[in-house]
């Protein structure tokens, strides 16, 4: 019941939605407490917060108690330690601690929303969080390279702006690293405007750096976007292939099989089977209808009756 995501069990699902409701009520109470106009309802908001935090404490204790069911391959002590150090365990702890102390870190309760989003997964095998994780892992090298480029541009622009503006604004651009704030806001296209160049050279450099920033920020965005498209394409096509190819088998083309010298189309028509590919040595050859089968080829076939086809060939 406590583990999120078991859609087949009604009590588990009710427990999930109850925890989700407690999370959203807790967060809503935190936000409403910041409005002076709602001061008369502060006591009610505090009561909601106390009740929901109590629910979080009970859930946290139960999840520790049942950790051996979540990690059955581990012992009781190791499974509980594994849960305490897991993402869910750390999030649960961080959302409870600020209530008793560390009140300045109450924002950690927002992290529970991330875990609760598992309730809205598309299916148990492939959800949006898995897509994000897969894309970031597959594209991590490209993302790291693009971030490195941005850092280099940031440092170079900071040094260049220091040389251009130090004489005119010694209090603003005091050293090579004092322009990091300006270069960050410019390269990332935020443009706060609290630090800006006043010399002609500095303004010209700022124009070039701003254009470079637009391109630099677009690099990781394009990489991640392309990764999402690839992941969804793979998922769509992999499901079709698994559905279409229910049974596959391999047949060796030797002197007794009767395949040698015949085309793929002739063999398919004669034995009522579909040849997917032909393995020829270290090559994987597309099974075109006109392709002639040679001795030693391995035919990867698909058929509703693979075993019967093999028996017919042997006979």
Q: Give the H/E segment covering residue 218.
A: helix 200-244
| b/e per residue 85-112 (b: at least 16 CB within 10 A) | eeebbebbebbbebbeeeeeeeebbebb
Res. 212: pLDDT tops 80: yes
Split at pLDDT 50, 70, 90, the class of 305 is low
- Average pLDDT for residues 283-288, to the nearest whole number? 86
Contact 219, 146 (CB under 8 A): yes
- The CA–CA distances, whole Å, from 5 to 65, 72, 84, 128, 155 equal 19, 18, 19, 14, 46
Q: Which fold has domain 140-241?
A: Helix Hairpins (1.10.287)
Res. 51: pLDDT tops 70: yes
CA distance 53 to 87: 19
CA distance 216 to 208: 12
- Average pLDDT for residues 171-191, to the nearest whole number? 81
Domain layout of the chain by residue ranges: 10-120, 140-241, 248-314
Res. 202: pLDDT tops 80: yes
CA distance 151 to 187: 10
For Cα atoms 110, 114, 115, give the angle at the middle one, nearest 5 degrees: 110
Q: What pLDDT sits at residue 311?
A: 56
CA distance 14 to 216: 47
Mean pLDDT, the chain, whole residue set: 79
Top-confidence residue, 285 or 312: 285
Res. 123: pLDDT tops 50: no
Digit-coded pLDDT (tens) for 56-88: 889 889 989 988 888 888 888 888 898 888 877
Closest CA to 3 of 119, 126, 81: 119
Burial of 52 (0-12, 13-18, 19+ CB in 10 A): buried
- The CA–CA distances, whole Å, from 180 to 111, 124, 138, 150, 190 equal 30, 45, 31, 12, 13
Residue 63, helix vs strand vs coil:
helix
CA distance 184 to 157: 9
Closest CA to 112 of 48, 25, 172: 25
Res. 46: pLDDT tops 80: yes
CA distance 182 to 42: 42
Res. 275: pLDDT tops 50: yes
Here the tokens at position 226 are 């392309």
Split at pLDDT 50, 70, 90, the class of 44 is very high
Where would I find the H helices in 71-139?
76-84, 87-100, 111-116, 128-138
Res. 240: pLDDT tops 60: no
Which residues on adjacent β-strands are paired with residue 259? none
Digit-coded pLDDT (tens) for 90-117: 878 877 877 777 565 566 666 666 555 5
The residue count of the chain comes to 315
Contact 260, 253 (CB under 8 A): yes
Q: Which CATH superfamily is domain 248-314 in?
A: Regulator of K+ conductance, C-terminal domain (3.30.70.1450)
- The pTM assigned to this predicted structure is 0.48
């Amino acid at each position: 019941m406590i583990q999120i995501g078991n859609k087949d069990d009604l009590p588990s699902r009710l427990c999930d939605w109850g925890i989700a409701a407690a999370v959203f009520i807790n967060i809503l109470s935190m936000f409403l407490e910041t409005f002076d106009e709602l001061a008369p309802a502060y006591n009610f908001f505090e009561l909601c917060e106390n009740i929901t935090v109590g629910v979080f404490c009970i859930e946290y204790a139960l999840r520790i108690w049942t950790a051996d069911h979540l990690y059955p391959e581990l012992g009781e002590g190791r499974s509980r330690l594994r849960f305490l150090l897991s993402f869910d365990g750390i999030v649960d702890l961080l959302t409870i601690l600020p209530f008793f102390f560390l009140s300045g870190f109450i924002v950690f309760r927002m992290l529970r929303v991330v875990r609760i989003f598992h309730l809205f997964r598309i299916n148990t095998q492939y959800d949006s969080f898995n897509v994000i994780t897969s894309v970031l892992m597959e594209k991590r090298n490209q993302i790291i390279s693009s971030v490195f480029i941005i850092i280099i541009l940031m440092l170079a622009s900071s040094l260049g702006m220091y040389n251009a503006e130090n004489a005119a604004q010694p209090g603003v651009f005091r050293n090579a690293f004092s322009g990091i704030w300006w270069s960050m806001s410019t390269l990332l296209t935020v443009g706060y405007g609290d630090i800006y160049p006043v010399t002609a050279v500095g303004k010209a450099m700022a124009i070039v750096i701003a254009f470079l920033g637009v391109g630099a920020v677009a690099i990781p965005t394009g990489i991640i976007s392309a990764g999402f498209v690839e992941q969804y394409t793979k998922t769509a096509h992999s499901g079709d292939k698994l559905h279409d190819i229910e049974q596959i088998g391999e047949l060796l083309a030797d002197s007794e099989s009767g395949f040698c010298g015949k085309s793929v189309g002739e063999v398919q028509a004669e034995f009522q089977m579909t040849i997917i590919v032909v393995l020829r040595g270290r090559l994987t050859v597309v099974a075109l209808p006109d392709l002639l089968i040679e001795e030693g080829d391995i035919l990867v076939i698909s058929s509703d009756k693979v075993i019967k086809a093999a028996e017919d060939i042997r006979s």
